[in-house]
Amino acid sequence: MNNYIEQPITKTLELNYMPYAMSVIISRAIPEIDGFKPSHRKLLYTMYLMGLLKGNRTKSTNVVGQTMKLNPHGDMAIYETLVRLTRGNDALLTPFIDSKGNFGKQFSRDMAFAASRYTEVKLDKICEEIFKNIDKDTVDFIDNYDGSMKEPVLFPTTFPNILVTNNQGIAVSMASSICSFNLKEVCDVTIKFIKNENIDIKKYLKAPDFSSGGELIYNEKEINNIYQTGRGSFKLRGKYRFDKKNSLIEIYEIPYTTTVEAIIDKIINLVKTNKIKEINDVRNETDKNGLKIAIDIKKSANAELLMHKLYSMTPLSDSFSCNFNVLIDGVPKTMGVKEILTEWLKFRIQCIKRQTAYDLEKKKAKHHLLSGLSKILLDIDKAISIIRDTEEDNMVIPNLIDGFNIDKEQAEYIAEIKLRNLNKEYLLNRVKEREQLEKDMKELKDIYDSEELIKNIICMELKEVSKKHGKPRKTEIIYHEEVKEIEEHELIEDYTAKFFLTKENYFKKVTLVSLRSSGEHKLKDEDVIVQEIEANNKAEIIFFSDKSNVYKIKAYDIPEVKVSNIGHYLPNILGMEEDENILYFVITNDFKGHMLFVFENGKIAKIPLEAYQTKVNRKKLINAYSDKSNLISIKYILEDRDIILIRDNVKAILVNTSLIEEKTTKSSMGISVLVNDKNSKVTYCLENDEFLCESIEYYRITELPVNPNLILDNDKKKNKFLK
């Protein structure tokens, strides 16, 4: 029998799930004000302890093994973290690890990094700024997971690394997504901000910058929103060059958010589905010289228009979503750029204050010792005499304390001075050192007490970082006003095709070239073609069903087929109702003309085609025509023309559609054209050439409604369907 304890779900969540959730938020996924997550910090600090800030590289395996003293999450997790921080992986604008070997590439899904036993690493030069004065009590240290060593809670980074290093993390119920900015721009804007908190951030921090380069479509409203709230998104797109001579497009920079393989896979899919026809071949030619996607295009293709298609249809253009969620004193907080700089400045001021206090204490201690030495300089012979006349070694210190009124530390220092150092030069140098210490202590005290002086130091450090490590932008800024807007219809290839509807609801789009070189249509058994229209690929197709519904679809959304193919089954494409059939279809570019609905009761509805045009792209319209009487015929007319109506197969009229009044309501019954007897009904609606007769004008009418004329015997004989 299983033993279990009943517990409310709320209690279970509180006791079991909440600690896990908090651990993920605080100790794993969200970066802190120094710009690092715990996994980054543990790895880099381990490398610092290994002396990898200077000297030669070491095997990555060695680093991974040592890091496990701080990070017990497994060697592969540690190595993957290391890979992303390397210069070789190209994931960061400002890498922290100098690397040798294959570390894969951030822009490639399939380019795997080599095993850790083959690669070598050391800390990059920028890490001098990350660890600056870390040994001078600038930050707090805590025990590692087993209490065997100490690790820093934060790094005393001399620049706002939180804005320089892009960070993404998903915690429980929250996430963080911080884009990277150019190091030089970040240092410059921080200096300006320190001097004047009311500056316009956008003036100095132009826009995000990424290691992958590409182009950023700058929209001032979007960027302003991100800078102010820490939330929002902006668009990135790849860069290309066109070799006209060889009809070759080379893409050499792509958005940070995608990979070469994702772009190529999408292009191949578009080519296979005939959505793009201008491409002959696409290849991944990425090598040691960098990223390259080569696209061979047809000689007749417009390279600029094709690239706009690829921007709109592939990950070659992508968005980066920002969520500047940062841990501040253990609490997640979403902040704009100014707020982040404010928090970093508070943190950095505290680091320098702590460093200043540390230096001050060290100098005070040294000054204290030299103060003791200055007392014995008044009577050096007395000091020598005390030491010489003391019989027991352990009494030397107490005797010096009593003889010169100094404390134990001072006495220890004096007792340790070598006999050879009791010369005039040594003693004078110590006096000067004491004087210098007093000056240094005063300067340190002034710095500690003045936030203004501390800010000046921060600005000097930022200038130094910018000068040493600043580099030009990689991501080019393109203002959205300058980006040529391509309308959707421009991206669609325009050509003429023929469209066929069958009785069994199959539909074909066949190019004229294919039609000319093909034989007979392939159809299902007993199926027949009931309608065919020649039109262009950019037109809109309107289908009328037997349940008074209209279905609309773009012609280019219907894939082409060969004549030897039975076509597309419309219920699948249009999402039709059960047992619904398509009766008729119209293809239009401008929604001009009228629809004629001829009913059994002798009425005709003349509806403008534009009644079926909608502002939004609705695919289905209900009540597309009246269902009050049986429908005999549907016709589309661009201009008014003659039609023939036959009642009960014995009477007929010839009417021009100009006599039929237009109705704007789609479901209108229309107007009476024929005066029907109680049991009479319209049986046919024909075109002129479909009705054989001796004199067509015999049947013409000039007013509505009318009683139809009897069909002449000779005319009846000519039209066998009337028998």
Six-digit token string for 389: 């006349």
pLDDT per residue as tens digits for the range 128-180: 999 999 999 999 999 998 899 999 999 999 999 999 999 987 766 678 999 99
Assign 324 a pLDDT band (cuts: 50, 70, 90): very high
H/E element holding 632?
strand 631-637
3-class SS string, 464-501: HHHHHHCCCCCCEEEECCCCCCCCHHHHCCCCEEEEEE
Asked if the model's pLDDT at residue 677 lies above 90, the reply is no
Asked if the model's pLDDT at residue 378 lies above 80, the reply is no
Mean pLDDT of 418-423: 76
Assign 317 a pLDDT band (cuts: 50, 70, 90): very high
> Of the candidates 249, 276, 656, which has an alpha carbon nearest to the alpha carbon of residue 492?
276
CATH 1.10.268.10 in the chain is located at: 341-467
The answer to whether residue 118 is catalytic is yes
Long-range (24+ apart) CB contacts under 8 A made by 104-112 are: 105/286, 105/291, 106/211, 106/212, 106/256, 107/212, 107/254, 107/258, 107/259, 107/260, 107/291, 108/259, 108/260, 108/261, 108/286, 109/259, 109/260, 109/261, 109/262, 110/261, 111/286
Asked if the model's pLDDT at residue 108 lies above 70, the reply is yes
Asked if the model's pLDDT at residue 78 lies above 90, the reply is yes
Instruction: Evaluate the omega torsion of the peptide bond into residue 705 and state whether it is cis, within 30 degrees of 0.
Output: yes
Strand arrangement of the beta sheet that strand 97-100 belongs to: 58-59, 120-123, 97-100
Name which residue leads in pLDDT, 506 or 175.
Answer: 506
> What pLDDT is recorded for position 722?
81
Strand arrangement of the beta sheet that strand 631-637 belongs to: 631-637, 594-599, 603-608, 671-672
> What pLDDT is recorded for position 427?
76
Q: What is the CA angle 642-646-651, rounded to 5? A: 115
CATH 3.30.1360.40 in the chain is located at: 239-315
Asked if the model's pLDDT at residue 25 lies above 60, the reply is no
Asked if the model's pLDDT at residue 61 lies above 70, the reply is yes
Mean pLDDT of 455-460: 96
Name which residue leads in pLDDT, 488 or 618.
Answer: 618
> Is the distance from CB of 161 to CB of 34 less than 8 angstroms?
yes
Name which residue leads in pLDDT, 24 or 587.
Answer: 587
pLDDT per residue as tens digits for the range 571-617: 999 999 999 999 999 999 999 999 999 999 999 999 999 999 987 77
* Neighbouring residues of 366: CB distance < 8 A, sequence distance ≥ 6: 433, 437
> Of the candidates 603, 684, 599, which has an alpha carbon nearest to the alpha carbon of residue 644?
684
Cβ-count burial 218-233 (b if 16+ within 10 Å, e if not): bbeebbebbbebbbbb
Mean pLDDT of 465-478: 96
> What pLDDT is recorded for position 348?
97
> Of the candidates 348, 337, 338, which has an alpha carbon nearest to the alpha carbon of residue 34?
348
Assign 21 a pLDDT band (cuts: 50, 70, 90): low
> What pLDDT is recorded for position 581?
95
Asked if the model's pLDDT at residue 413 lies above 60, the reply is yes
CATH 3.90.199.10 in the chain is located at: 31-157
> What pLDDT is recorded for position 6?
80
Is the CATH code 3.40.190.290 the one for domain 341-467? no
CB atoms within 10 A of CB 100: 15
Segment among 44-48, 118-122, 482-486, 562-566 with least mean pLDDT: 482-486
Asked if the model's pLDDT at residue 563 lies above 80, the reply is yes
Six-digit token string for 214: 């590409």
Assign 519 a pLDDT band (cuts: 50, 70, 90): confident
Assign 335 a pLDDT band (cuts: 50, 70, 90): very high
CA distance 123 to 141: 21
CA distance 349 to 353: 6
The class that CATH gives domain 31-157 is alpha beta
> What pLDDT is recorded for position 28?
63
Assign 186 a pLDDT band (cuts: 50, 70, 90): very high
> What pLDDT is recorded for position 377?
77
Name which residue leads in pLDDT, 480 or 52.
Answer: 52
> What pLDDT is recorded for position 116?
95
Catalytic residue among 17, 20, 118, 698: 118
Asked if the model's pLDDT at residue 535 lies above 80, the reply is yes
Asked if the model's pLDDT at residue 518 lies above 80, the reply is no
> What pLDDT is recorded for position 515?
85
Mean pLDDT of 35-56: 94
The predicted model scores a pTM of: 0.75
CATH of domain 239-315: 3.30.1360.40
> What pLDDT is recorded for position 387?
83
Asked if the model's pLDDT at residue 710 lies above 60, the reply is yes
Long-range (24+ apart) CB contacts under 8 A made by 173-177 are: 173/21, 174/25, 174/30, 174/325, 174/332, 175/29, 175/323, 175/325, 176/29, 176/30, 176/31, 176/323, 176/324, 176/325, 176/326, 176/332, 177/320, 177/321, 177/322, 177/323, 177/324, 177/325
